[in-house]
Amino acid sequence: MTNTLVVSAHPEPKSFTHAWARATVDAARGFGEVQTSDLYAMGFDPAERAELYGHEGRFDPLRVQEEAVAAGSLPADLAAEVAKIRAADLLVLHFPIWWFGAPAMLKGWIDRALVHGALHLVEERFEKGPCIGKRALICCSTGCRAAECGPDGREGDLRLQLWPLAHALRYCGFTVLAPECVHEVHGYHEAPTRDAFAARIAGVLDGQGALLDGLGDRPVWASNPAGDFDALGRLLPGAPVLSPFIRHP
Amino acid sequence: MTNTLVVSAHPEPKSFTHAWARATVDAARGFGEVQTSDLYAMGFDPAERAELYGHEGRFDPLRVQEEAVAAGSLPADLAAEVAKIRAADLLVLHFPIWWFGAPAMLKGWIDRALVHGALHLVEERFEKGPCIGKRALICCSTGCRAAECGPDGREGDLRLQLWPLAHALRYCGFTVLAPECVHEVHGYHEAPTRDAFAARIAGVLDGQGALLDGLGDRPVWASNPAGDFDALGRLLPGAPVLSPFIRHP
């Protein structure tokens, strides 16, 4: 049995993002418990700041987060997100790519819900992170063509656009799977043939069950493990280059 | 005379981020008009959504932004940001790096203030963008060592972390300069010698005038121009690789 947490971030309930997230929820119910965090529907506050903690004095987010965990005084919305993440075996993130990355709403969830002192500590990160053994799958969409998000694409490689998010999850210990992306989500390039567009989108939704069923065979998004770096955080000479965006000097 | 827009995003007014932003404001007054957008102090809302436009019906952000521009009904906060950007010759962004990128507050400013129909259009982007001739400088900070943000660093190359933000600015037509980053901003590694840390930070603040004076000689963050790509957005065979994260297939 797999406990799945589905986090979604799109301001339009009728968007493709939410239709796809619902397909994930429906499919995940077939193999265990499902939790959801529909960030816009929850009114999640993405802007980390002192007043959310009732904190007075200088606000150092990492310190205040850690102190709140130790004192058991984490804001209720963050405590709930931490509990969901701890209970989950699989995290599935659904969002549109805006400006070559996650929308601010989802970035705010990363900034706030990946609480320091709960889901990462200086001595517990990457392969020692609290989320070791959990898997994460990014399901995103773009309005552009797939070619524009290729390694030679004008918009930048999809993995370049998703890299900060993936690395944040890895930092907490998640195993990040190869992302799933639906391009041309507005169907502009298929405009003369709306039926073809509708059929393509329906195929994505109908196929989500099979996609989740196949996660065991899905490649992991390669990156160098912490052991490949020296005490200053530099790739050791002779270590293989596993991450697509790292290189020996 | 240069018109400078200083955008800052940190929840703590006494933070290094704000001290550095104030140093930029003070220095920029020496060569022209200065505008500021202190996003937390303004209570800027980073979560793009329908209610901010009084929009009913399906919410497609790009379409609603464009329609609001055409109708002259852009929300007042966005209209103000667009006017500031249009008036500016130089944009300076001040923020801490959180989770390998900009805080949600600044990402929300990108999501919302770079308004479709005003600061970019499908036919007016990159070298044809409305912000052609304007320069942008990113001034950010990290808590880690510089080595950890090098090309072989565990945290990921600084340009990798800043890439989505830089590319968003380029998309609108900005010339993006090489970023300025202050690492180890908490001084943990210098803890036994607090004076050394204080002197280092004071040096950054005192040096901001010289840094701005020298922008004319500052390298541009290289990236391939739109003309290097084919109609599908793929790098043309034989085109040079200028962006650090693009490669021929």
Q: What is the pLDDT along chain A (249 residues), one digit of tens a residue?
A: 999 999 999 999 999 999 999 999 999 999 999 999 999 999 999 999 999 999 999 999 999 999 999 999 999 999 999 999 999 999 999 999 999 999 999 999 999 999 999 999 988 999 999 999 999 999 999 999 999 999 999 999 999 999 999 999 999 999 999 999 999 998 877 666 778 889 999 999 999 999 999 999 999 999 999 899 999 999 999 999 998 899 998
Report the percent of chain B where pLDDT is more than 70.
99
User: Which ranges in chain A belong to alpha helices (H)?
Assistant: 16-28, 39-42, 61-71, 76-87, 104-113, 158-172, 194-206, 208-213
Task: Identify the CA nearest to A94 among candidates A157, A33, A185, A30.
Answer: A185
For residues B190 and B56, which has the higher predicted lDDT (pLDDT)? B56
Residue with tokens 């959990």: A134
Contact A161 B160 (CB under 8 A): no
Of A48, A153, A248, the CB nearest to B233: A153
The confidence score (pLDDT) of residue A122 equals: 86
CB A83 within 8 A of CB B151: no
Q: How many whole angstroms separate alpha carbon A9 and alpha carbon A24?
A: 14
Q: Which residues, 6+ apart, have CB-to-CB distance to B18 below 8 Å?
A: B8, B10, B12, B38, B94
Identity (one letter) of the amino acid at A238? Answer: G
Q: How many whole angstroms separate alpha carbon A199 and alpha carbon B1?
A: 56
Q: How many whole angstroms separate alpha carbon B246 and alpha carbon A160?
A: 9
Neighbours of A121 (CB within 10 A): 14
Task: Identify the CA nearest to B102 among candidates A101, A70, A23, A159.
Answer: A101
Q: How far away is chain B from the Cα of A103, in angstroms, using its nearest Cα?
A: 7
The predicted model scores a pTM of 0.97
CATH 3.20.20.140 fits B4-218, yes or no: no
CA distances from B141 to A71, A89, B38, B138, B179 (A): 29, 34, 17, 10, 10
CB A74 within 8 A of CB A118: yes
Tell me the pairing of strands A175-176 and A135-141: parallel
Top residue of A152, A176, A221, A245 to mutate, by most chain B CBs within 10 Å, is A152
DSSP letter at A100 equals T
Identity (one letter) of the amino acid at B146? Answer: A
Contact A46 B249 (CB under 8 A): no
Q: How far away is chain A from the Cα of B169, in angstroms, using its nearest Cα?
A: 9
CB B4 within 8 A of CB B28: yes
CA distances from A27 to A35, B10, B86 (A): 13, 40, 48
- B2: burial class by Cβ within 10 Å (0-12, 13-18, 19+)? middle
Contact A101 B105 (CB under 8 A): no
| B219-232 CB burial, b ≥16 within 10 A, e <16 | eebebbeeebbeee
CA distances from A83 to A8, A78, B78, B190 (A): 17, 9, 36, 36
